[in-house]
């Protein structure tokens, strides 16, 4: 049976109130008494009821992190850094995966709120936004990460400079002599896809290369979906010498398809990804990519959410754009 405060009180000889206050580290309990009670609680296997405590205090000390695709290492890395940052505030997180499906995102938001979380860090699908509207109306503290809604400024969000990233990736391919560059882009409703394409087009224009809409291919941004898309592009006989991919995962899947077709990277085709997940995870193929400071973005998201939870935002909304940087490796 579950160990209770009463059980600990009977074992130690202290009152239930003293046991409770000692386990909460209250100042009016002597340090020696705390030590005795905490040791007894540990030996007996006592687990505090955080739900009941949260109901009494109105604070659960938990954050929900709603991610788009946990099979993509980018989101796993972000979740790790968010957990590290939250831990410094005495908070724990729980992660909900949406697989880029709005219905699952909406369910995730309602589930998180029903569990009494103090705040939500949301990586939105951007297919719809009724759940975000609901968060606003409910006064639930939340921060949007990675994507943003141009029509809404009354929310906190953190994004990368996607237009610059798209420009740097395309410019690098051009400097390597690649003028027919396929852009394996995400869906049009995703803000980074629009902004990275903006950078892609600007780099082409600045280098006197005519934009060819046939070279912009919309692919699924879920892991495991781009290999077949790249294979079809190769089979269509489209002339290209470079690939700029929406993400590192898409880039690696494209490289597998290229190699299966007998094309060598970077000799035949140069490839540039986005996210720089090799900054923390080592893979056998060194990929040229666009770096986003995932640690800084994750820690900033938690810091902003804590201010929102504690009412320290002073009526301001945080809109931060993180710089992007080209990381050159062997794929281009």
Percent of the chain topping pLDDT 70 = 97
The answer to whether residues 176 and 279 belong to one domain is yes
The answer to whether residues 261 and 194 belong to one domain is yes
In a domain? residue 327 = no
The answer to whether residues 73 and 146 belong to one domain is yes
pLDDT at 138: 86
Range of the domain at 315: 58-160+294-322
The answer to whether residues 264 and 282 belong to one domain is yes
In a domain? residue 328 = no
The answer to whether residues 190 and 286 belong to one domain is yes
Number of helical H runs and strand E runs in the chain? 12, 12
Cβ pair 163, 196 in contact under 8 A: yes
- Give CA–CA dist 67/74, Å, rounded: 10
The answer to whether residues 166 and 151 belong to one domain is no
Q: Residue 145 — left, alpha, or beta (φ > 0 → left; ψ -120 to 50 → alpha)?
A: beta
Q: Give the contacts of 259 (CB within 8 A, at least 6 positions apart).
A: 265
In a domain? residue 298 = yes
The answer to whether residues 312 and 222 belong to one domain is no
Q: What share of residues in the chain are helix, strand, coil (percent, to 5)?
A: 45, 15, 40
The answer to whether residues 193 and 221 belong to one domain is yes
The answer to whether residues 93 and 111 belong to one domain is yes
In tens, the pLDDT along 39-76 reads 999 888 887 765 555 545 557 899 999 999 999 999 99
In tens, the pLDDT along 212-261 reads 999 999 999 998 899 999 999 999 999 999 999 999 999 999 999 999 99
Neighbours of 198 (CB within 10 A): 15
In a domain? residue 53 = no
Cβ pair 108, 96 in contact under 8 A: yes
Count of domains in the chain?
3
Q: Give the contacts of 216 (CB within 8 A, at least 6 positions apart).
A: 182, 183, 185, 197, 200
- Give CA–CA dist 249/74, Å, rounded: 9
In a domain? residue 332 = no
In a domain? residue 225 = yes
Sign of CA pseudo-dihedral 284, 274, 99, 157 = positive
pLDDT at 52: 53
Taking 70 as the pLDDT cut, the residues of the chain under it are 1, 49-58
- Give CA–CA dist 95/98, Å, rounded: 10
The answer to whether residues 96 and 176 belong to one domain is no
The answer to whether residues 197 and 182 belong to one domain is yes
Query: What CATH number corresponds to the domain at position 118?
Result: 3.40.50.2300
The answer to whether residues 112 and 179 belong to one domain is no
């Amino acid at each position: 049976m579950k160990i209770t405060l009463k059980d600990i009180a009977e074992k130690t000889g202290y009152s239930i109130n003293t046991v409770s206050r000692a386990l909460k580290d209250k100042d009016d309990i002597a340090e020696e008494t705390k030590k005795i009670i905490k040791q007894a609680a540990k030996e007996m296997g006592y687990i505090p009821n955080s739900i009941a405590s949260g109901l009494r205090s109105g604070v659960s000390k938990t954050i929900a992190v709603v991610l788009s695709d946990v099979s993509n290492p980018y989101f796993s890395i972000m979740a790790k850094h968010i957990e590290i940052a939250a831990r410094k505030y005495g908070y724990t997180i729980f992660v909900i995966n949406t697989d880029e499906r709005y219905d699952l995102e909406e369910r995730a938001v309602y589930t998180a709120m029903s569990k009494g979380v103090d705040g939500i860090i949301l990586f939105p699908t951007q297919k719809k936004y009724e759940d975000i509207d609901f968060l606003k109306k409910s006064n639930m503290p939340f921060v949007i990460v990675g994507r943003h809604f141009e029509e809404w400024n009354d929310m906190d969000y953190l994004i990368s400079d996607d237009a610059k990233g798209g420009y740097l990736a395309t410019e690098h391919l051009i400097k390597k002599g690649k003028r027919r560059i396929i852009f394996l882009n995400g869906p049009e409703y995703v803000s980074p896809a629009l902004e990275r394409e903006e950078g892609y087009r600007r780099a082409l224009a600045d280098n006197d290369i005519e934009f060819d809409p046939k070279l912009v291919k919309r692919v699924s941004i879920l892991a495991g979906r781009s290999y077949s898309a790249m294979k079809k592009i190769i089979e269509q006989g489209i002339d290209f010498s470079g690939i700029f991919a929406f993400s590192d995962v898409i880039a690696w899947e494209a490289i597998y398809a290229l190699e299966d077709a007998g094309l060598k990277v970077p000799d035949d085709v140069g490839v540039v990804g986005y996210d720089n997940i090799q900054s923390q995870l080592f893979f056998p193929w060194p990929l040229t990519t666009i770096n986003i400071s995932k640690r800084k973005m994750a820690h900033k998201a938690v810091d902003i959410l804590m201010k929102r939870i504690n009412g320290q935002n002073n009526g301001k909304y945080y809109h931060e754009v993180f710089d992007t940087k080209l990381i050159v490796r062997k794929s281009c």
